[in-house]
Amino acid sequence: MATGSRTKNRTSKAEQASATRSKIVVAATELFLRDGFVTTTMAMVGKEAGVAVQTLYLSFGNKTAILQAAFDQALRGDESVQDLHQTDWFGHVLTDPDGAAALRLFCERSAEVIDRAAPLFDVMRAAAADPEVGDLLAYNKKLRYDGFRRIVEAIASRDGFNAELSVEEAHGILYTVLSEDAYLLMVTEHGWTRERWLSWVTETCLQQFFPDGAR
């Protein structure tokens, strides 16, 4: 009985810690989006989340780690998703023999991710003069860069892929067009709808990668 009680107690504490972290991330996200990373202080996050500042440090270590956690949550969208590269849709894109269909699916699902994450990406980009945030921005861009490389290498082997386009060129096109930077420029700055942006991204990539299928 004692062992069971200790296990239950550990589970309860872990759940409480997870709930506290989630509350901190939600509060910090609101402040980062409203006031920016630099202006937002740990004291402000603690007050917004209803926890002591010491709890923030115990849970995350520093403000940059909270920003990373907030960005990770925006990328995933669902707390049950731990890694986008392990989702069913990502695996389907890698294995679907229909390259054009795989590319369409990748654009659609990536657009959903970018739509959620772009506001915090912009916060990160605006604060990149801070060395820690600059490293964080570079780290997250590298993750996307590597993930896109896997996708391009997979679809480049499918029937109908543009024989005049190298994997390196295709990788550069996809990484540039399907990005938070392009989203922020076209949707946030120039007022495109998300749907119009997604249509442009998808058709642009199809014309470049599968020109016969695009026509």
Q: At 61, list the tokens.
A: 């270590």
Is the same domain home to 58 and 120?
no
Residue 121 placed within a domain: yes
Distances (CA, A) of 15 to 9, 20, 28, 76, 120: 10, 9, 20, 20, 26
82: left (phi over 0), alpha (psi -120 to 50) or beta: alpha
Residue 126 placed within a domain: yes
The torsion angle over the Cα atoms of residues 126, 129, 130 and 131, rounded to 10 degrees, is 130
What are residue 156's phi and psi, to 5 degrees? -65, -20
Residue 73 placed within a domain: no
Is the same domain home to 56 and 146?
no
Q: Domain tally for the chain?
A: 2
Supply the mean pLDDT for the chain: 91
The predicted-structure confidence for 72-118, as pLDDT tens digits, reads as follows 999 988 766 667 777 888 899 999 999 999 999 999 999 999 999 99
Q: pLDDT band at residue 215, thresholds of 50, 70 and 90?
A: very low
Is the same domain home to 88 and 187?
yes
The predicted-structure confidence for 144-157, as pLDDT tens digits, reads as follows 999 999 999 999 99
Q: Is the pLDDT of residue 10 over 70?
A: no
pTM: 0.87
Residue 50 placed within a domain: yes
The predicted-structure confidence for 25-64, as pLDDT tens digits, reads as follows 999 999 999 999 999 999 999 999 999 999 999 999 999 9
Is the same domain home to 145 and 179?
yes
Q: How far apart are CA 205 and CA 143, in angstroms?
A: 20
